[in-house]
Structure formats: C-alpha cells, structure tokens
Structure 1
C-alpha cells in the first residue's frame, strides 16, 4: 500500500484545525474538496478516520485509527519542514535561519551573550528565540519548530538527544527583613513548615528544586506557584515565603539588599551548596544546518551569566 501524501496532508489539516471548513481555508481549497480527499483516504486505508457530526452536528472526532494516523502524519510533515529548512540553509551562512528554544532563565541570563556573538560573526542571519518551560520547548523540538534547545534539566525522549551543557548555582533566599537570617542553622523540619514559592509543573527550575530538596530531607508542606523566576524573587523580596532560585536571577536583589541567602547545613554542620545542570537538546534524526553548526560551536565557549 502506498500512502497518498496529498490526501494525508488534507486529513492532517482537518484533524489539526478540528473541522473541514477551517482546513479548507488553511489549504486554500474548497470544503467539498477537503471532504472528498478524506473519504478517498479512508477508502484507500479501508478504515474510518473521522467521526462526523459530533457536538451538535458541527464538530468532528478522530477514531482510534484516525488518532494513530494523525501522530504519524505529524512526524512526517515535521520531517518535511526540517528537510526544506536544511536545503535552504545549505545555500550558506550568508542566508538561512536559526531558531533556538530556551527555558525562561536561560533565555534571560545565559543566551544573550551567545546571540550577540553569533550575530556579530554572521550578520545576515537573524536568530529567532522561542521561550517556554522545559516541557513546552521539548515539544517545539519534536515538532521541528526549533533547531536546538537549551533547558534546565535532561529530557527523556527516544527522539531527543540531551547532553550536559553547563552547571548553574542555585541559592535559597528570603526577604532581608526575615528573621530566618538570625538563625544559625535551619533544620529540615523547620524548612518543611515554611511557605516555598515554586514554579509551575513542567518547569526545569521546579524539577531541580524538588529533587535537591528531597535529597536533603526537605518536603515543603506549603507551596505557592508563580509562573516565572523573576516574579518569584520579587515575591520573596516582599516578604512572602522563601525560594530556591538560580544565582543569576537573585543577584540583582541580593546586591540591593532586598533579599538575603539562607545558609542550609547538613547533619554534620557543613554548608550545603546547590547546583543544577543545564542541557542542550537536539533531534537525533535531524541533520544540522550550517547555521546550527556555527551556533553549536559558539555555545561551546561557555561564559558567565549576564
């Protein structure tokens, strides 16, 4: 059996747009042509792919076979976009594109220095940066929306290569007015009772924080979610809770004495130092464009966070 890619593209558009009319608009063809293409594909495969007339007669629903085919189609067309991008980029570094995915902290504090270096060396290529938490950026990589990604933790996916890029210091902070700074040592039991300000699920910072605290017997009973590290550090500076944050995020308010670092000690009385790994993500099956290779070379020159 040979799969007709035109019919598959029409089916994919219907499933992605959740309707025949929106798919027709997106493909710039008539709705009747869309319906005909989907029917032909169902006949070729001898499988129902779409349940029509759901949600009051206007919606659609994919059958189990349709869901499976949709996931295959997503991969096929993602590779198609990757192939087109790669061929275009081979014209050379005087033309081309580079799209980088980065988690929020890396985009704010680490990435700018490398972007500046790249644009100085290759002024004809203007990079594009997509920012999100680790989970979102990983999905962008799988969908071939980005060429590579820098995130705050490893990602376990058979299609993604995750390699260690750099170590980043983490600190536990509280407002400067907090009485916690007067305590010579903070036990795990005491820390468990405090309010911790944390990132949302899917954030590399949150995952690193939970893992490091757990290693030292700290499992906070009370947490409050805040959607960015910058918002967290300013919330703490106002006297709300404590937080573990990248040192780069905390530096400005530490210098202004708005917050102070809390010293955590282990059972032997030694100070505990926290750090996390930053990771480079790449698609295993996707060849690198010349622009991507050039940026990877620059990334090897690890500097300090801005």
Structure 2
C-alpha cells in the first residue's frame, strides 16, 4: 500500500536511520528505483548527504509544509515524530506549481512595468494636449522631441548592455517605475549580458524581485539610487543589485531569505516574505547561490551567481 500511493513516505528510527522508503519518495529524492532495500538501515545523512532536504527530514529544521530543493525538484516536506522516538516524513512534488508561480511572478513584474509606462505616457499626452490648447505649438513640439529622445536613450542604454529581450524589457519598465518613485535606476558600467540565457524567465523573476526590494529600501534615503550589475563570466551569470537604503544588519543577512520574513505590513490579498526566499530557491535550483552584503557606499547589496545559466 505504501509503495502504491503518489506521496513520498520515509520512516526513520530514533537514531536517524532509514526504516522504509516507498517508491515515490525514492523517485522524488533521486534514488534508484530499486534502492528501497539497499538504503534500509543506513543513516539519512549518508544516503542524501548534507543539505536542506536532509535537515528537514531529520528534524533539524522544523515546521509545516517546508519547501526544499532536491536536484531539479521542489518538494514540500512534513515530518511527524513517532512514539518510539523515530519519525515519518512525507514528500509532495511542487515542481510544476513552482514553475507556474515563477512564470506568474515574471508576468506580474512586466505588467507592473507596463502599467507604470502607461501612466507616464498618459501624463505626457495630457501635457501635450494642454500646450496645444494654449496655442504653444513650438513648446509642444519641443516637449515631444525631448520625451521621445529620453525614452529612446533609456531603451538604447539598456539594450546595448542586456541583449536578452525579455530581461531588457523588464529593466526598461523598472526604470520607468523607479523614475515615478523618484529613485534613479542605473546599470553598472560592467553590465553586459549576451542573448544566450538558458532560462530567461527565471532570471526575470530574480531581477524583478531584487529591484523591487531595492526601490523600496532606497525610496526613503537622502540620495536615493539603485544600481544593477549583470554580467557573464563564461557560462555563469552574475547579478548584483545595490541600493542606497539603510542596509541589512550582518546578523540578519541569512534570516531575510527565510520564507515568511518581511519588514512590510502583511496584506490581505498577498502573502509577504516570499520574494527573497523565491530568489534563493531559484538560484539553488540552478546550482547557484544568493546572499546579502553591504554595498561599497553603504546600503545593501544582493548578489546572485547562476552557474551554467548561458548556453
């Protein structure tokens, strides 16, 4: 019966040794299909190695519906202690749901950017209309020429450095969002990313989340600024997002990547504290890493390294 259900089940004894692994658990954990008997009696740490999955299943990380990444799969794990001091853990596959969630976040980021551009264009059209109604035709022509030049210049500056069209569109849109909030958004001189991304949608989600957080942090600073540094080192994509905000205390630079952690007020319509957790999970899924540090001029600097991100 245990081997026939579509939920992974692992039983552990009080010493952390595996009692049973059903077929679905073996599949989700990347074990050989016929390895159930072979791993019985072995310590969990020896079978899976070090990592978050082992920590969750062993109980070193506690909680309900904990997310963990094993290979290319995103799993939801729950652990229930047994009377003899052991435990039974269950695993569910959330890979497809996580993929859809990532695409939704990417789409939401682009929609927000397009909404900001639409708002900006509406204001400009109202200005042109007012100038024409006042009979200031020359001033209207100069205003249109200036606006078109600024927009074209911004788009050209981004596309010269970021060749992937999806990511370039996001950055152009975020520049408009930043301008409306009074925060300059600039690309570092070292930014240069070719159009060879294996998963552009994933990088759009990462960049979008980090830029949004940076804009929130920089908006209240004396000299607001957000800088994006995105470049390739061989097949590795390297991203740094710096802001002029208050920064992140060294003691909390790991805590902020915990799911549910947020400095913002909770919303009735949307769960808070998922952005940075999602950034780290996406990075780890590609064998990479994400961490927080201090920018050279103060403020926070978030870094992401994605090995094998380019073809």
**Bin of the TM-score, shorter chain as denominator length:** under 0.3
State TM-score, norm by structure 1.
0.19
What TM-score does the superposition give when structure 2 sets the normalisation length? 0.19
